A and B are shown apart, each in its own frame.
Chain A
């Protein structure tokens, strides 16, 4: 077979010519390609830089200064970060952030998964239940927080009254530091489980029912089916939901702030709430932004760890 001269532009970029071995990619027309690329991609890159990179860079600059909301202030190096590590309130906030996140992620996951499994069964009016179960996620947090406050805040609120009637004495859910921490975590679980339920439902719907049929024929119990079929086959989705919920929990400001303001006695102060209070109540911008940067570092580290776990599960 002899080579023929190119008869079209397509041929010119795909046909291999002896002695002029060029890959198809390298053979693409070069003139104007770079400019086209920049024209189409440039605005997006610029927008991303403005929206993401600029605030982060500016935040880093602020964290190295002792500034106010109006001025950047004098350069103080890493003093703001050193202050954070020597501030008991920072460590207390970090501790509660961890508790809040662990409770929020796994509490909502357990309930969400259980409900998703329940919803797979033939339940009458399942659609109505699904809608009702989504309400905590759909209703604005400010409304939920006000409702929860009404339910538990004072000794004449419904739940303390009920607790008193059941013989538990006067239970002050938001006035006792330990109880307030538990209440805030429960509130977070309550508003988050519908998201986990949706994620789990989506993952479960992708599992082929014939696997369960085969397992049942092999005599697998319900627990065994969950452990050896459901769990591994939905693992990737589970890890992703954990990652997302971790980010939601660590960054969650309104849930805590609206219900307790971080109190009593800082018992429910998370790092985000602390950063807000430091910047907008103490007006220590540099220190507050330094705390926010530390949150970012911790979040990225957690996210990377979970991402590796996802890769393992995929492999």
Chain B
């Protein structure tokens, strides 16, 4: 009998350490390797290569099909390159772009996250869109873009991209629940508090938000309210400056919401899915969110967009994101990239006409399309919220690479959760955030 068969055999210290080291190397690999670029990628940038257009998945599979069809319509002038279309998933998208750009297999033109162009511009990978912007101005089309949308993208080295759609954070509510609670739609902070208390009495959350795994909504909502109160996280020159009286006042207001049970204490761990479930089940009566337009998770319901709130000092303001199209230095010809991008801006209305996208268009002519006008929530967002909206860079007006590291970074997450928890001193929370902002600015 042998209870420990072949003891020690085939189990050497070297072999064991090798196994252990290999296993231990996993986090290293996870941390230092970048995601694979799409399989269709190949070296580009040479004459005869296509203008590779990488497009994020801004909608369902219908969007991807429409994107392919749209790009296929483009017929370049003689001597210019034709485009190719590649849809990119949001999962690990930044690694996808970073690895492809580093290996010179990336796109010539792409959509992407709001700050992506700034970050890659800092690495010298972005081609300025100044010629495209000049062309729009020359042809009288520049004025067709909603006001202020180009400012964010204009850096000292030129335009890092051109705007094509907006992502807005607006106050939304369920009318039947407000009626049941016996209150009207809030118009300012006081009435928001009053409505929240009334909703609380009928067992409904009056300020729905989420700061859990992967959810940025709480932080965006807090910043939106700060902007609504004339605040922001940066000074007009773009330097971190969040420990201000207006911001402290905003956090005190949020603490009041928390103390009164208007904000769900579980919101600190809420994911986007948790939040949507609560909205759809009628547990939430009010809250800041993206525009519940047709095609979104909350679209097609009785959730409506309210008019913008007036801050306690009479300020108006909200947070929005200027999603942009960018060009890269790795291109078969810059002229081809410019021509394609310009054509795309002039023809992207197809997405809204065919109803495959739920984002807010940046061109007035698209917002006036009959197909778009059918969506009351989106129309209200464009008419009332866009004119008062500011970017994440507020009080500054121009974007920068640090924003990418700030939004979704560790400082942002901790800040959001501390505010939602409602137990820490507002000034201390902001001082911690200030350090995080400064570290991000230095780091990038």
Contact = CB atoms under 8 A, between A and B. Distances in A.
B78 interface: no
Contacts of B8: 311, 314
A56 B33 CA distance: 11
A282 to B, nearest CB: 5
Contact of B211 (A232, A263, A275): A263
A177 B32 CA distance: 30
A264 B443 contact: no
A59 B13 CA distance: 25
Given A69-B98, A258-B213, A261-B214, A175 B27 contact: no
Task: Classify chain B: how many residues form its interface, as a range.
Answer: 35 or more
Interface of B is mostly: helix
Contacts of A258: 213
B410 interface: yes
Interface in A272-310: 272, 275-285, 288-289, 291-293, 295-296, 299-300, 303-304, 307, 310
Contact of B31 (A155, A207, A288): A288
A70 B32 contact: no
Interface string B430-444: 000000000010011
Contact of B283 (A71, A156, A210): A156
- Most A CB within 10 A of own CB, among B24, B26, B119, B417: B24
Contact of A236 (B7, B25, B120, B409): B7
Contacts of A206: 3-5
A169 to B, nearest CB: 12
A153 B31 contact: no
A172 interface: yes
Task: Classify chain A: how many residues form its interface, as a range.
Answer: 35 or more
A251 B27 contact: yes
B212 interface: yes
A296 B269 contact: no
A299 B268 contact: no
Contacts of B36: none
Contact of B271 (A153, A278, A283): A153
A138 to B, nearest CB: 21
A297 B111 CA distance: 41
Contacts of B26: 251
B410 A282 contact: yes
Interface in A233-249: 233-234, 236, 243, 247
A283 B119 contact: yes
Given A153-B274, A281-B410, A282-B409, A69 B95 contact: yes
Interface of A: 52, 55-56, 58-59, 62, 66, 68-71, 89, 149, 153-156, 170, 172, 174-175, 180, 206-208, 210-211, 232-234, 236, 243, 247, 250-251, 253, 257-266, 271-272, 275-285, 288-289, 291-293, 295-296, 299-300, 303-304, 307, 310-311, 314
